[in-house]
Every structure is written in structure tokens, then in C-alpha cells.
Amino acid sequence: MSEARDRFSLFHSRREAQVKEPFGSLALVLTQWIDSEQSVWGVSGLWAPRSDGAPGLQLTAEAADAIVVNGDLVDGTILLSGPGQDAPTIRFSDTQSGTIIAEDGLCGLRVWDAQSEWVTNYGGIDAYDYDPGWVVTGTWKPNPAGTTMDVDKKLGSAKTEVIPGEIEFSHDGHDVSLATIGTGKALQIVFADQTNQTETYSVGRFLFVVPNPDGTVTLDFNLAVLPPCAFSYNFNCPIPPKQNRLPFPIRAGEKNVLATDGSLLHH
């Protein structure tokens, strides 16, 4: 038991450190989709879709704008690759950086600030104490290849996600089946429960799992984490699908993000 608690403590301390890193969730200050030539709030230059139609963005800036891409000062118009192996390193200042994201054929710019108001006012992640009773064994039910679901997002719209399978388990007289998201080895569960809004972040939480070879899945809800949108309003996180909204409380895992004075950093 002490070994499990120690692993949980290490996991929690790493989470608290990761979210305040220069590209951690607290540092995201802007997400702006670029569908035409436009300025971006808070940073210099003109941004547009690439003129050659390739994934990425086109940046026009003067030397006085002090934008550095891949170590070189931008003075003119350059083409920036989209996300991936060739993703550019974009620096706006000593604390501000940029990254390019893509979704449904459209690219956007994210601006990160290592000294954002959320980073400087961050007091930690409130979490439940470790509870071995919330290490649950479920049954893995794979879906036919190509099964998808439209998953709603916090800021509106929806995204079609691959649903590789569902996880069935019972608790307190309730039989539930959780839809999973993902195409890799680790699968994501976006879930809500009866603690949301009163004890935990209102939108819900995430849990990442890997099915076991014997057809079971270990659901350690002590490792449930807050979604990125709990740390910055500039993330558009998925919200739990109807079947993942559980009719009982799960008092395990992360609760809320705290400010330095102990109040909630976000609601």
C-alpha cells in the first residue's frame, strides 16, 4: 500500500510541476485560427495561411518586430511548417513563444507565456488523498475498426473522434460503459461524475488507460487529471459524452486548480 501511495505522490508532484513549465497548460495565453491574413492579439507580424497551400502558416514581419524563427530574426515573409517533426521554433520575447496547430485542414497559432498571470498566480493542484478503493477493474469491449463519435467541445463545435472500444464496470449498483478516445496504445476517457461543480472542476476530468492482455482494464481513478482548459481558457477541451457522465461521485484524482491564496484559479 505504501508503494502505491508513493507512486501517487510522485505522479501528483510531477503534474504540479509540468503545468507551470514554459509550454505547460498554465502558459497558454492565446489560440487563434488563421483563415486569412490577419494580426494576432498580443504579438507582432501579419499571419496568413501558407501561399503554397501546404500545412502551416505564412508570417510577414520586420526586424523591429523582433520575431525569431529557428534562431533567425524575421525580416520579410517566410513560410512556417505545420505541427510535426519540422515544426518551427517561434520566439516573440524572452518569455513568449509560439506554436502552430492544425485541425480539419485549418492551422492556427498558439501563444505561450512562461510568466502568464496564471503561472505567476498558480498555487497548485488540489487532489483527493490516495484511495485504493478507486482502483477498479473493468472489462474491455473493442469496437469494430473505424468506429467514431462526434464529441462536443467546451467552447462549441464538435470533433469526430475514433472510439476504439468501451470499458464496462459496475459501482454502487450502477452498470456503466465508458467510451474511450484514441488511436494509440494509451486511450483517453473523458468523464464526468457527481462531484463536478461542487467538489471538482465543472467540465469533467480525463483518465488515461491501457487495456490488459487478458481483456481487462485497470481504472485507477486516483490518476484522474484535470483537462487543460482547467488551467487556461484558451484550450477547447472535449466534454464528456452522455454515456461517460456517471451517476455517482468519484472522490479520487485531481479536483481543481488553486491560486496562491488557496482560492480557485478557474471555475
- Give me the pLDDT at residue 267, please: 64
pLDDT tens, residue by residue, 40-63: 999 999 999 999 999 999 999 999
Residue 266 included in any domain: no
Q: Of 44, 79, 113, which residue constitutes the final position of a domain?
A: 113
Grid coordinates representing 210 are 491501457
Which of 40, 86, 85 minimizes the C-alpha distance to 67? 40
77 and 131 assigned to the same domain: no
pLDDT value at residue 185: 85
> Does the pLDDT value for residue 2 go beyond 90?
no
Mean pLDDT in residue range 180-204: 94
Binned at pLDDT 50, 70 and 90, residue 184 comes out as confident
Percent of residues, the chain, with pLDDT higher than 70: 99
Phi first, then psi: give them for residue 216, nearest 5 degrees. Answer: -100, 170
Is there a domain that residue 265 lies in?
no
Task: Tell me: do 108 and 157 sit in the same domain.
Answer: no
User: What is the rounded distance in angstroms from the CA atom of residue 227 to the CA atom of residue 209?
Assistant: 15
CB 18 within 8 A of CB 126: no
Same domain membership, residue 224 and residue 142: yes
Q: Verify that 35 and 128 share a domain, yes or no.
A: no
- Sheet of 56-61: strand order equals 38-39, 46-49, 56-61, 76-81
Give a yes or no: residue 147 inside a domain: yes
Residue 134 within a domain: yes
Mean pLDDT, rounded, of the chain: 96
* Shared domain check, 185 and 74: no
Residue 27 has a pLDDT of: 98
244 and 199 in one domain? yes
Confidence of residue 1 (pLDDT cuts 50, 70, 90): low
pLDDT of residue 104: 86
Residue 135 lies in a domain: yes
Q: How many domains does the chain have?
A: 2
Q: Decide if 49 contacts 102 (C-beta within 8 A).
A: no
Determine the structural domain holding residue 175 and report its residue range: 2-20+122-259
pLDDT on residue 87: 95
Task: State the virtual CA torsion across 182, 183, 184, 190 in degrees, nearest 10.
Answer: 0
The structure's pTM equals 0.94
Q: Is 163 found in the same domain as 216?
A: yes
Q: Quick one: 10 and 106 in the same domain?
A: no
Spatial neighbors of 135 by CB under 8 A, at least 6 apart, are 4, 218, 219, 220, 221, 222
Residue 202 main-chain phi, psi, to 5 deg: -60, -35
The predicted model gives 155-175 an average pLDDT of: 94
Q: Is there a single domain that holds both residue 10 and residue 126?
A: yes
Instruction: Looking at the structure, tell me whether residues 10 and 31 fall in a common domain.
Output: no
Within a domain: residue 264? no
Residue where a domain terminates, one of 65, 95, 113: 113
| 203 and 82 assigned to the same domain | no
Question: Which of 70-79, 177-186, 190-199 has the lowest average pLDDT?
Answer: 177-186
Which of 113, 143, 165 marks a domain boundary?
A: 113
For 12-42, the pLDDT digits (tens) are: 999 999 999 999 999 999 999 999 999 999 9
Tens of pLDDT along 227-256?
999 999 999 999 999 999 999 999 999 999
For residues 144 and 12, membership in a common domain is answered with yes
For the stretch 90-130, pLDDT in tens is 999 999 999 999 998 899 999 999 999 999 999 999 999 99
Report the distance separating Cα 117 and Cα 234, nearest Å. Answer: 13
